Amino acid sequence: MRSLSMATATIFIAAFVLLAVQDGHCAKLCMDSSFPRSVNGSLSFCGYNGTACCNATDDTAVQKQLAAMNISGTPCGNLVKSILCARCNPYAGELFTVETSPRTVPLLCNSTGAASRVSGVAAATGYCADVWDTCKDVSIPGSPFQPPKGGPSAPKLTEVWQSEGDFCGALGGESICFDGVGAAFNATRVVPPVNGMCLERVSNGSYLNMAAHPDGSNRVFLSNQAGKVFLASVPPHGSGKQLELDLTNPFLDITDEVHFDNEFGLLGMAFHPDFAKNGRFFVSYSCDKTQSASCSGRCACNSDIGCDPSKLGADNGAQPCQYQSVIAEYTVNASSGSPSTATSANPTEARRIMTLGLPFTTHHGGQILFSPADGYMYFMMGDGGSVGDPWNFAQNKGTLLGKIIRIDVNDMPSGNSTPGWGNYGIPKDNPFSMDPSVAPEVFALGFKNPWRCSFDSGKPSYLFCADVGQSSYEEVSLVVNGGNYGWRVFEGHQPYPALSTPGGNTSADSINAIAPVMGYSHNTVNNNVGSASVIGGYVYRSMTDPCLNGRYVYADLYAQAMWSALETPQDSGVYNQTLLTFGCSKTSPIPCDFTAKSPLPSLGYIFSFGEDNAKDLYLLTSKGVYRVVDPSSCNYACPIKSSASEGTPPPAASPSSAFRARSPTMATMLLVGVLLVLLSLGF
């Protein structure tokens, strides 16, 4: 083998170190300084696949360790499981080692949350804070949380640390840390510019919801407002093919149960995290009690909150609570084999989770989601309607209207413990679960009509919710446990002058409202369309368009306007947003429509966004389904090569951002040392 000159070697080593820093990835290393090894399939308990620092024996040991703590299946137990399993992470060597001292838990990510609307002061949040809040009073036999040097060991965190600050000061980190899913590297990001977003049209169908198949395949579920759910296959990038689905054979058809009209219909669907094993999934829809015998539930306006439905004066001639919001559970057909292979569902409802009578005919929200961080179901509920929320439902903590609801569909209560709205459990860490004057289902409040929320797959504790405005401002908020987002006291950043107040008023000083992290005024889009309605999107986590990676993308229903927003500085809760130019791929499977008035493709109304298992982003519009593709297909420049250029679906993005520059790591230094040794030996 020909030897390298010292000059060549120096250049090679310098280039290697530079690449190790700039490519956005630390070198992978395990706690014993070995390199991660290939995993056959995935670890049955910890779930790591591809490469990991654990084998099946290690995985079983972690399972036994958690079982001995007797907290499995609890919110704290779920967090502790992730922390214990972090030793299997390919970056475990850096997560568990500070200088040369090994740790019993990885460094837990610290961050700062969104600022208060009134005070402007940022609140401490982040994964470490989540662990403290969830586990501080839980007795954990054999606790893995390492006490301060020389300090006592105890089963409860509060018996070792005085406060969250003490806990996260000892166990938290920022430069490299564990965020509940993977390694996060919190240094300055190299952020490439976004010159435009390129779309291809993959279907002519009009849908409200998209959900990735929980089995990790290239399939997605699509639902329309009328009440049908379809199973579709996503084509590879560059194939020139459309979404593959059979419109004559829906996966589920409940059109007979669904009341479909304007803001009514099948509004949400969510698949149980263990759907591939249990076949459970859920839909949220509207029903009319005058047309359906099963449409019967308690009115959201009731005596518990001092509200008489007969005095509401329902709009559009409807009876108060004639229309209901329903969450129902369904299962796949038992004859279909395993749930992953099922192509249809049992059309008979398996269980009614919730039925909620609506006071008016608008502002029903309706989306349902499972959190990747805690596994609970989140239900987005509007203020129930009528202009300006005259009954102040959004601020009334006794009602579910104008709230983000969090419930447990795995722990079903029985007998007298059944909640007043249906069949579900209450998570113990819901912010008002112990306050008898507040609906225990409430996770956050102060919303007018949340239309499309999403969890950031890169930061699972980040829940973004867009809230439709009334007359002046459309907003997107970063939602936290117990947060109050201001409506009807505020619209956006400004006080809202209520037109009618039969339900009373709430003072701004009494609620400590949290400001939106992004949004836009109606006058910025009204010049063209006369109205505005925000559509929430996703934090883009695919490398199909590397320049969009890490940016939150959202839109307006009417204006054909879209924005991208980047958190700057990182973990600050502050987002810088810009209008997003978009075009149509020259190889779009279905040609895009254009009008003489605009060089941009005509998308019609943008109803919603979707995300597949590869983290590719979709727009669900009145003119079809559009997928974000390689920006070069629209002649938009991006300095980083798209993963779609190979013609295959891109892999799911890493939980850590692809654009975080990182310091040379222990593993990098080790490799450089190896190169120096090789050079000294004449290789």
CA distance 320 to 22: 60
Highest mean pLDDT among 46-50, 110-114, 355-359: 355-359
- Phi and psi at residue 505, to the nearest 5°: -120, 160
Show the CA angle centred on residue 506, arms to residues 500 and 511, nearest 5°. Answer: 145
Q: Which two tokens stand for residue 401?
A: 């209207």
Mean pLDDT of 474-489: 96
In angstroms and rounded to an integer, the radius of gyration of the C-alpha atoms of the chain is: 26
Mean pLDDT of 604-623: 97
The confidence score (pLDDT) of residue 170 equals 82
**What is the SS3 assignment for 57?**
helix
Using the predicted structure, report yes or no on whether residue 492 has a pLDDT greater than 90.
yes
**What is the SS3 assignment for 537?**
strand
Using the predicted structure, report yes or no on whether residue 683 has a pLDDT greater than 50.
no
Structure confidence by residue, pLDDT tens digits, 394-436: 999 999 999 999 999 998 776 544 456 889 999 999 999 888 8
Highest mean pLDDT among 78-92, 129-143, 309-323, 473-487: 473-487
Other beta carbons within 10 angstroms of residue 350's beta carbon come to 15
Please indicate whether residue 594 or residue 39 has the higher confidence score (pLDDT): 594
Mean pLDDT of 167-189: 77
* CA-based nearest residue to 446, from 386, 508, 529, 528: 508
**What is the SS3 assignment for 7?**
helix
* CA-based nearest residue to 312, from 297, 299, 329: 299
**What is the SS3 assignment for 443?**
strand
Mean pLDDT of 656-673: 35
Q: Which two tokens stand for residue 571?
A: 């973990």
**Residue 571 near residue 125 (C-beta atoms within 8 A):** no
Half-sphere exposure for 51 (CA within 13 Å, toward CB): 11
Model confidence, pTM: 0.72
Using the predicted structure, report yes or no on whether residue 138 has a pLDDT greater than 90.
yes
Mean pLDDT of 265-278: 96
Please indicate whether residue 386 or residue 646 has the higher confidence score (pLDDT): 386
Q: Given pLDDT bands bounded at 50, 70 and 90, which one contains residue 94?
A: confident
The confidence score (pLDDT) of residue 111 equals 64
Mean pLDDT of 495-517: 93
The confidence score (pLDDT) of residue 315 equals 63
The confidence score (pLDDT) of residue 469 equals 96
* CA 309 to centroid of chain Cα atoms: 35
The confidence score (pLDDT) of residue 664 equals 36
Q: Given pLDDT bands bounded at 50, 70 and 90, which one contains residue 24?
A: very low
Other beta carbons within 10 angstroms of residue 530's beta carbon come to 10
Please indicate whether residue 472 or residue 11 has the higher confidence score (pLDDT): 472
Q: Given pLDDT bands bounded at 50, 70 and 90, which one contains residue 620?
A: very high
CA distance 91 to 96: 9
Q: Given pLDDT bands bounded at 50, 70 and 90, which one contains residue 11?
A: very low
Please indicate whether residue 439 or residue 671 has the higher confidence score (pLDDT): 439
**What is the SS3 assignment for 394?**
helix
Query: 116 burial class (0-12, 13-18, 19+ CB within 10 angstroms)?
Result: middle
Mean pLDDT of 283-289: 97
Highest mean pLDDT among 559-563, 587-591, 655-659: 587-591
* CA-based nearest residue to 306, from 505, 511, 507, 503: 503
The percent of the chain in helix, strand and coil, each rounded to the nearest 5, is 20, 30, 50
Q: Given pLDDT bands bounded at 50, 70 and 90, which one contains residue 95?
A: confident
Mean pLDDT of 612-633: 97
Other beta carbons within 10 angstroms of residue 449's beta carbon come to 27
Using the predicted structure, report yes or no on whether residue 114 has a pLDDT greater than 50.
no
CA distance 432 to 417: 16
Give the chain's mean pLDDT.
84
Range from 56-60, 524-528, 580-584, 609-613 carrying the lowest mean pLDDT: 524-528
Q: Which whole-number Å values give the CA distances from 319 to 264, 295, 314, 356, 502, in the listed order?
A: 15, 14, 6, 14, 19
The confidence score (pLDDT) of residue 332 equals 95
Mean pLDDT of 324-345: 90
Using the predicted structure, report yes or no on whether residue 286 has a pLDDT greater than 80.
yes
Using the predicted structure, report yes or no on whether residue 465 has a pLDDT greater than 60.
yes
Mean pLDDT of 126-130: 86
- Percent of the chain at pLDDT > 70 equals 82
